[in-house]
Structure 1
Amino acid sequence: MDTLQALQFYAILFVVIWAVAFLLKDKLKIEIHGPLLMRKTTRMRGLIDRIAQRHKRFWKWTMNIGIFVAFFFMIVMVYFLLNSLPSLFTAPQASLILPGVDLPGSQIKFPLGYTILALITVMIVHEFGHGILARVEGISIKSIGVLMLAILPGAFVEPDEEQIKKSKRSSKLRIYAAGSVFNLMLAALAFIVVIGISSFAIPATFHDEGVKIDSVVPGSPAVGVLKEGMVLESVNGVSTSNFTNYQKELSSIKIGETVTLVTDQGVFQIKTEKNPNNSTRGYIGIRSAVNMEINENVANVYGNQLPWAWVYLKDIFWWIFLINFAVGTFNLLPVKPLDGGLMLEEVLKYKLSDKQIKPIINTISVFLILIIAVSVIWGTGRGLLLLFS
């Protein structure tokens, strides 16, 4: 699915979902609040309660450590955003997770299937984390449900807010930290799986054979010349058998230079343009990876299809790691109503009054939201302009 098809898919999906929501809102018990759709249920509360009560001490002590982990990543994320200010209008660092959409200038393309699967794990793990710790702390769960903000899906666990307000500060911190820390725990487990597959299964099953084009960036010089799946054999006469040499050669090309690429499907020449994220560097517009071939001894036993399951498995866990880590750390920003904002507010209450805390939290929230909004809007808007120009 190319970028235009993906955008059309989202437009159709938006119309279908909202049409169904309006027509069947009473039958399906869907609540509509402006651009937000919600459906609440009391199911799954028993499961959350059982998980919480069977391992109550474990969850409490795990989340005591999790509070410190959460504040560490809160500091890291604030530093990351402040450090991005000099390049805010040249190479925006924040972006929307839009599965299947590849915009010019985007740092990464989120594949449709893997990203949707990863987002499902994000929502389930995050909300179950809040729910489990709420029950550990004796807080009732009023409802569980799914939501849709325009076309962005989500899930929620609704604890009793009045009971949370009356609970101890340490209990609140554990509950607030739980969602993001659960995401980080899943990210760590997924990363371990990726390292294991990459270190043992893949080297035993495959060998490197040049460089493969993973995708061609829309609106780039490579469009209409190179294709996804092509295997690069050399760039400007430099062999691509070594991926490091390939990256070094690609980083040395100049703006306006004619680059000669030898592939398994012929020889092509492309005139480079200005890199959307670095105006001093040349740009072809391809995303590449090491091309892998199945080892002969493996192919003789398992054929030419089954061994690729290792690659698909590695990719699934890689995206589960990346998106859980990204969403988990984003939620730890000291911005209300994110988890990090609620945690910072509770910590400040140790020494400050509500009257003093409110302007501090509001100022931090507005400042950080402004950075994120500019980065996302500018990066997405610029990408759309480059795509249709």
Structure 2
Amino acid sequence: MRSMIEVRFPLIMIKLDPSILYKLKTKHYKVLGFIYTVIAFAGIGFTIAFLLKSLYDFIFRPNNFTPVVTPLIPGIEIGGLKLPLIEGIIAISIAALVHELAHAQMLVSLNRKIKSWGLALLGPILAAFVEPDEEEFKKDKPINRIMVLSAGPAVNIILGLIFLGLSNILFPYFHQYKCLKLVKTTNPDLEGVKCIYSIDNTNVTIKNIRDIIYKHKPGDRVIVNTDKGEIVTKLKEKNGKPFLGVWVIPYYIKKGFYFLYSLISVLGIVNIGIGLANLVPLFITDGAQILREFLNKYWVEINSFFLTIVLINIIWSIL
């Protein structure tokens, strides 16, 4: 079969030879299927619990409600979150391709037919699709269908955790610590300060700032070296202990080749995001299809319920 190009607005679809996918076949599919299924059910449980907690906060604690579902579009900030444009496009494309290939691997390992597969372009974002023989798939054993459905999101979650772990290991090689960034202060002497470098000539970090302050007593004066110069201020008292009146986070300067680190981090976030999103019970998702195997009688009601919660979160994050 030769490659074929179809235009289904807004998608440009490139159909490829399905025989290529049979090279992904593995004799270890039962072990992989078990692992994928466990991860998928854990993910479904996690997303359901997360969404129910969100609904509880929305109804009973509206002042503390924070959206837990936010659409991530590369280069566009939504709800205070923003994916870098280039890294976001690359990460989404890779995650989508890996997702479909995982479904395909489980299908061919089970000796099931794949009618078509290929790539799809949605603007600059590369996606993929795998089309099984629907009649064959519907007649298959429930456990086989569950393993196929679980493969895509499970592989995304596994890859996401690997990339996030790698980004954590690589963090010190791509960042240079500069100071403690002042997020909030109740100390009038430190109003307008952005960075704290040292206290009493001792360089501060997020780990040692409390120990430095606790060497003093409430009412003692300390010298705080900041981006505004040296500031002498008096320590307050909080719960019987000295208190500088600041809330801080570490501030780092990006070092060379930062794009590589950013891409690895975004690959972690996007893969986990796509994996979990595909496990939310929402009609067309893998998670919804898995639950249908057990809750077919109430499938529409369950999906409608969680769709309502997701829409509340998305609308709230945009407003």
Q: Which TM-score band applies after superposition, normalised by the shorter structure?
A: 0.7 to 0.9
Q: Which runs of 5+ in 2 are unaligned?
A: 183-191, 210-225, 230-247
TM-score by length of 2: 0.72
Query: Which runs of structure 2 are paired with 1:374-389 in the superposition (5 Å)?
Result: 374-380=312-318, 382=319
Question: Which residue is equivalent to 2:11?
Answer: 37
Query: Which runs of structure 2 are paired with 1:66-145 in the superposition (5 Å)?
Result: 66-88=36-58, 90-103=65-78, 105-106=79-80, 108-145=81-118
Q: Give the secondary structure class of the aligned counterpart of 1:144.
A: strand
How far, CA to CA, are the matches of 2:158 and 2:139 in structure 1?
A: 29
Of 149, 157, 169, the residue aligned with 2:142 is 169
Question: Which residue is equivalent to 1:364?
Answer: 302
Matched residues, number: 270
* 1:329 matched to 2:290: no
Contact 1:129 1:178 in 2 (8 A): yes
How far, CA to CA, are the matches of 1:374 and 1:152 in structure 2?
A: 27
Identical-pair percentage: 24
**Amino acid corresponding to residue 72 of structure 1 in structure 2:** A
How far, CA to CA, are the matches of 2:73 and 2:31 in structure 1?
A: 36
How far, CA to CA, are the matches of 2:195 and 2:308 in structure 1?
A: 45
Q: Give the secondary structure class of the aligned counterpart of 1:138.
A: coil
Query: Which runs of structure 2 are paired with 1:142-221 in the superposition (5 Å)?
Result: 142-147=115-120, 154-198=127-171, 202=173, 207-211=176-180
Contact 2:179 2:195 in 1 (8 A): yes
The answer to which of 84-93 and 371-380 deviates more is 84-93
How far, CA to CA, are the matches of 2:227 and 2:179 in structure 1?
A: 10
Q: Give the secondary structure class of the aligned counterpart of 1:29.
A: strand
1:233 to 1:148, Cα distance in 2 relative to 1, 3 A? same
Q: Which runs of 5+ in 1 are unaligned?
A: 1-26, 214-225, 247-261, 267-286, 294-306, 349-356, 383-389
* CA deviations over 1:321-369 (Å, ceiling 9, x no partner): 1110111011112332210111111234xxxxxxxx24x1111100111
- CA RMSD in angstroms comes to 3.6
Of 190, 195, 205, the residue aligned with 1:242 is 205
How far, CA to CA, are the matches of 1:372 and 1:150 in structure 2?
A: 25
After the TM superposition, which parts of structure 1 deviate over 4 Å for at least 4 consecutive aligned residues? 147-153, 237-241, 243-246
How far is the alpha carbon of 1:153 from its aligned partner? 6.0
* CA deviations over 1:283-328 (Å, ceiling 9, x no partner): xxxx9762248xxxxxxxxxxxxx623x443322111111101110
1:263 to 1:86, Cα distance in 2 relative to 1, 3 A? farther
Contact 2:99 2:155 in 1 (8 A): yes
